[in-house]
């Protein structure tokens, strides 16, 4: 358990709450603005859904290794780099001239987001005693509960009164604030790490992708069968991961 200064103890949850809000907001803010973005980019509204799916898939792939990276390189460094990558991805999204460029930019965003959210929670777990952890965790998670409700409404207002580019540009001031405050307040925590379990990472990431696509296809008319197949395949991959983890000394997840 790290010893926090009084300033860290008081304000650290605010910094992490901003990061959680920013990442989860971006997962939902596009939903109501896709038709306008499709028109601006000259694409079919149905194809625009890949701008949402690519972000979700990137989160599913990279979240499993975020804890390993935080333990190896330090929570502060990984958290700050995550904010930088997320903001760069946001700028690239706003500057996207085509759908393909937008999808690639959303992947960059997703890599940053995949590191921000779990590392922020890890920092809280390692920084506060058990008797304060529940209160602090609840405070930091409240923005994560609000963001899915605010995202679609905010996205609709932005495209109606400004332009779709601001859906991504609003991340920049939040990111700058999070970076400045994070540099001052986030503790640098390390843990002893062994080699990354690449086999486990591949199995778990593939399973997470399968479940994500299964939910996406299952919600689309005429694609329910594909969703079912993906769900079954992902379940088999999870089973394979459990079998692998029981036979490895240092699995990705015990």
Residues 18-61: pLDDT tens digits?
A: 888 888 888 788 878 888 888 889 988 888 888 988 998 999 88
- Same domain as 246, residue 166: no
Highest mean pLDDT among 53-57, 102-106, 154-158 belongs to 102-106
1 is a domain residue: no
- Same domain as 140, residue 213: no
- Same domain as 99, residue 49: yes
- Same domain as 235, residue 130: no
**What CATH number does residue 54 fall under?**
1.20.1250.20
Residue 91 CB coordination number (10 Å): 18
Number of domains into which the chain is organized: 2
Distance CA 22, CA 83 (A): 10
The answer to whether residue 135 scores a pLDDT higher than 70 is yes
Domain boundary among 170, 193, 216: 193
pLDDT of residue 21: 86
pLDDT of residue 1: 62
The answer to whether residue 201 scores a pLDDT higher than 90 is yes
- Same domain as 70, residue 19: yes
What is the pTM (predicted TM-score) of this model? Answer: 0.89
Domain boundary among 171, 193, 215: 193
115 is a domain residue: yes
Distance CA 246, CA 249 (A): 8
Distance CA 154, CA 220 (A): 24
- Same domain as 120, residue 170: yes
Per the structure, the complete domain to which residue 221 belongs is given by: 194-254
- Same domain as 123, residue 219: no
- Same domain as 130, residue 64: yes
**Residue in the structure block whose two tokens are 């394979």:** 240
Element of type H or E holding 171 = helix 171-185
């Amino acid at each position: 358990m790290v010893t926090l200064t009084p300033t860290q103890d008081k304000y650290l949850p605010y910094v992490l709450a901003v990061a959680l809000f920013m990442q989860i907001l971006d997962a939902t803010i596009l939903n109501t603005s896709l038709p306008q973005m499709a028109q601006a980019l000259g694409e079919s509204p149905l194809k625009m859904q890949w701008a949402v799916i690519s972000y979700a898939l990137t989160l599913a792939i990279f979240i499993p290794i975020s804890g390993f990276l935080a333990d190896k390189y330090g929570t502060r460094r990984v958290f700050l780099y995550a904010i930088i990558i997320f903001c760069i991805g946001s700028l690239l999204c706003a500057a996207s001239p085509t759908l393909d460029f937008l999808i690639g930019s959303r992947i960059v965003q997703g890599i940053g987001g995949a590191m921000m959210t779990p590392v922020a929670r890890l920092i809280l777990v390692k920084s506060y005693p058990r008797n304060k952890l529940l209160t602090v965790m609840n405070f930091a998670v409240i923005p994560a509960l609000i963001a899915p409700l605010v995202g679609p409404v905010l996205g609709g207002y932005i495209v109606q009164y400004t332009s779709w580019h601001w859906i991504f540009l609003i991340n920049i001031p939040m990111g700058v604030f999070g970076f400045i405050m994070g540099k001052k307040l986030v503790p640098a925590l390390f843990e002893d790490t062994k080699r990354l379990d690449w086999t486990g990472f591949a199995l778990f990431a593939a399973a997470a992708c399968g479940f994500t696509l299964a939910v996406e296809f299952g919600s689309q008319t005429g694609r329910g069968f594909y969703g079912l197949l993906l769900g079954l395949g992902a379940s088999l991959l999870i089973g394979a991961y459990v079998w692998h983890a029981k036979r490895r000394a240092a699995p990705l997840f015990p």
